Structure 1
Amino acid sequence: MTEMLKGTLEGIVLALLATGPAYGYEITARLRDQGFVDIAEGTIYALLVRLEQKGQVDVEKVPSEKGPPRKVFTLNAQGREALDEFWSSWAFLAERLAHLKAEGDK
């Protein structure tokens, strides 16, 4: 499960950001609410840095009541394209896996 998650986590985070801007801890909390309880905050922060380097998210520093400013990540047009590609790949894989399962269940 962990290896499968590593291959899809970037798309999952892009999908979360498609629902609205968020900062790192908030993304981690939302993932945990969705059942991804074993994801470490450090993994998410590293992934967000990669998304920023790829130009798929915009970053804004927003003042925080509890310490230094937070980096809020927003999906941009390039990120939306990457998310569309992710969903397309996911649909293809899901269809192929369903077909293989059906063949195996015969």
Structure 2
Amino acid sequence: MAIDEKFTAIRKGLLEFLVLKIIAAEKVYAADILAQLAKTDFATQEGTLYPLLSKMRREGLLDYEWQESEAGPPRKYYELTAKGREQLRETLDYWGKISGTVKNLGQK
């Protein structure tokens, strides 16, 4: 089994967290999110990202606004809602706890 296959579930579980982090930094277009993820071990495809963005919007974590584009039709630019910022804060806190747990387990 390839190493990527072993960690698919972990990567999938972390994708929403990473998308929250990316959108928290600035309003972004979906292609910008894909480009940022492509530079990491979390590279994903449109067919994964768009359903996730739709789910996150339905859950009230993010919203979007249409902006005119010089390169074609208007684009959706995503931003976090107050609920999305709170979710990110909670996830960052939890991530800190589990990272510490993983680091410290097995230490004497």
TM-score of the two chains, using structure 2 as the length reference: 0.84
**Any idea what SS the aligned residue of 1:7 has?**
helix
Structure 1 segments (4+ residues) deviating >4 Å:
none
The amino acid that maps onto 1:67 is G
1:24 corresponds, among 30, 33, 36, to 30
**Any idea what SS the aligned residue of 1:49 has?**
helix
Name the CA shift for 1:70/1:36 in 2 (closer, same or farther; >3 Å): farther
Unaligned stretches of 5+ in structure 1? none
Deviation at 1:37, TM superposition (A): 5.6
The amino acid that maps onto 2:50 is Y
Partner of 1:56: 61
**Any idea what SS the aligned residue of 2:50 has?**
helix
The amino acid that maps onto 2:57 is E
Deviations 1:43-99 (A, max 9, x none): 111111111111111210112233332111011211100001111111111111112
Identity score, percent: 37
Deviations 1:12-49 (A, max 9, x none): 1101111100011110001112x136411221111111
Q: Is the 8 A contact 2:15 2:42 kept in 1?
A: no
The amino acid that maps onto 2:37 is L
> May I ask how many residue pairs the two structures share in their alignment?
102
The amino acid that maps onto 1:99 is N
Instruction: Tell me if 1:3 matches 2:9.
Output: yes
Matches within 5 A, 1:1-106: 1-33=7-39, 35-36=40-41, 38-100=43-105, 103=106
**Any idea what SS the aligned residue of 1:58 has?**
strand
